[in-house]
Chains A and B, each alone.
Chain A
């Protein structure tokens, strides 16, 4: 199954992880800072970034404390997670899967840190089954996400939920793949 938005965001997440990995092992470059002249970006094509260069005598990380560096890394990782705003569900369930949990924690923290920010949680179902039951199922999914956000720091007043049931599919069609992409909750930040 192909979920373009999600895979794009995960690729981004992966590259952040890669950067973090490089800097912590190499100790010569830091993401978010300036690269030394002897640290060359070898390949920046194709969406992934690979760094080369010698360890010796490179730019030190003295401009940032370890603490700051970790925070910056964490922030970038969180931001990458928050690129994901659509969460998928199994047929006739409202269970949030582990993958979605990590991402929703990032959204919840963001909401906690930005009390003025609102979010609309939209619940959807695939076309199978009955319209009214699907309306309630979409609401159950939206409520599950709302509860999860609140438990992780967001406040109730920031979140508005709505269910569209099966009325607004993301993908047209009656295939397993279309259904899987339509059983979802979408976060819409205002």
Chain B
């Protein structure tokens, strides 16, 4: 399973890492971050401002970004530096009693050193109660890339405390719609998970939807109406090269990558009705996986990469189904309401997340696959497009807030975390990128 492979890769990844960040377009349109709610059980962490030697870039400080990363998950609350009794940067300077008095469970200290055009970070995380160092590493990045360095440190801290890799270095893809002038502008964008460093990858006057990340994080598949009808493209992010992969009569939609990045699941209606197909991207050969008069769409590989979740209205309304293997008879998963659609499984095969209608409102819900138990995760009422973070701890979805479409990130069990409204216009169709390096 892709994400597992990526996790493994992530865990063993070199301490000194090189960041490739290719800006295809200089245009920026950042999302504003709005933290809605912290969990009550948030773990107190003190992120001490890092010591600096040599010329360290001005702007957002690494420790500030780490602090903001940890806070936005809702799982942590951080201590404002003004309340700290001392500002240690190494173990010998940490007085555990002070941090205990301040009610802190963990303390992160560190230092940044300039070396040529790179910045090296040395950082250590301490468990205050046990008076133990639980993490001590160095990492380096180009001086122009302090955000990536900070997100890397956040990932490490998150993993040291929770045992699960952090997803702060991952990317989001989403579509913004700016209709201020009456001429709609759809923009496919890629940003950090905190909405920063957004880059426009495609701009169109016609709708763009359903972006899907390749497992290596290097390509996006999506549906674009630029030719007047829905057509599937694969877009290589580094080069900006786009390939039209499905342009059959009728629908060409709902692309989803296989774990090996070699094929796409997609919905085509070339034979008159929406069915799920698999397309081998090398040969462009199609295999038809469903054959039913009903709508079959929104396919996604399951956690094993052996079966497929899909939406089908063969029972009369849209419901979630699972095919044990491609082409097998779909088995219905959801029964709780008349409308359940767009399944997205997590990485370890525990849950499937989807859009669920109850009392006229659309929420994000999940079903535990072992027990069939369904939980509604959101209180908002026009929720769409759930996408699970690759570490399975967070979920992003699109909803309406104050008359416009925003993205909201919640913890996977439903705790509210933060929302990402577009600075202008609507933002929709989020896709959380994989853990990759």
Contacts and interface: CB of A to CB of B under 8 A. Distances in A.
Nearest to B269: A139
Q: For chain B, what secondary structure do more than half of its interface residues adopt (helix, strand, loop), or is it mixed?
A: strand
Contacts of A34: none
B112 to A, nearest CB: 44
A132 B210 contact: yes
Nearest to A162: B229
Interface in B337-352: 339, 341-342
Contacts of B251: 135-136, 139, 163
Contact of A164 (B225, B297, B317): B225
Contact of B254 (A128, A132, A139, A164): A132
A167 interface: yes
Interface in A100-139: 127-133, 135-137, 139
B362 A128 contact: yes
Interface in B280-320: 295, 297-298, 311, 313, 317-318
A174 interface: yes
Nearest to A133: B341
A17 B272 CA distance: 39
B355 A174 contact: no
A143 B342 CA distance: 23
B298 A130 contact: yes
B228 A133 contact: no
A70 B254 CA distance: 52
A132 B255 CA distance: 10
A8 interface: no
B353 to A, nearest CB: 12
A158 B436 CA distance: 50
A140 interface: yes
Given A128-B362, A130-B355, A162 B228 contact: yes
B261 interface: no
A143 B225 contact: no
Contact of B311 (A133, A139, A163): A133
Contact of B382 (A128, A136, A161): A128
Nearest to B250: A139
A131 B225 contact: no
Q: Interface size bucket, A side?
A: 20 to 34
B387 interface: no
A145 B201 CA distance: 37
Interface residues of B, number: 34
B400 interface: yes
B385 interface: yes
A137 B295 contact: yes
B36 to A, nearest CB: 20
Contacts of B228: 162
A165 B230 CA distance: 10
Contact of B384 (A130, A137, A161, A174): A130
Contacts of B269: 136, 139
Contact of B355 (A129, A137, A165): A129
A130 B230 contact: no
A163 B274 CA distance: 12
Contacts of A162: 228-229
Nearest to B208: A167
B267 interface: yes
A133 B342 contact: yes
Contact of B362 (A92, A129, A167): A129
Contact of A135 (B253, B318, B382, B385): B253
A130 B342 contact: yes
Interface in A154-183: 161-165, 167-168, 174
Contacts of A165: 209
Contact of B210 (A131, A136, A174): A131
B263 interface: no
A152 B251 CA distance: 25
Interface of A: 92, 127-133, 135-137, 139-140, 143, 161-165, 167-168, 174
25 contacts: A92-B313, A127-B382, A128-B362, A129-B355, A130-B298, A130-B318, A130-B341, A130-B342, A130-B385, A132-B210, A132-B254, A132-B298, A133-B297, A133-B311, A136-B253, A136-B274, A136-B297, A139-B269, A140-B274, A140-B295, A162-B228, A162-B229, A163-B230, A163-B251, A167-B209
Interface of B: 207, 209-210, 223, 225, 228-230, 250-251, 253-254, 267, 269, 272, 274, 295, 297-298, 311, 313, 317-318, 339, 341-342, 355, 357, 362, 382, 384-385, 400, 429
Given A128-B382, A133-B311, A174-B400, 13 more contacts: A129-B318, A129-B355, A129-B384, A130-B298, A130-B342, A132-B253, A132-B298, A133-B313, A135-B297, A136-B269, A139-B251, A167-B207, A167-B225
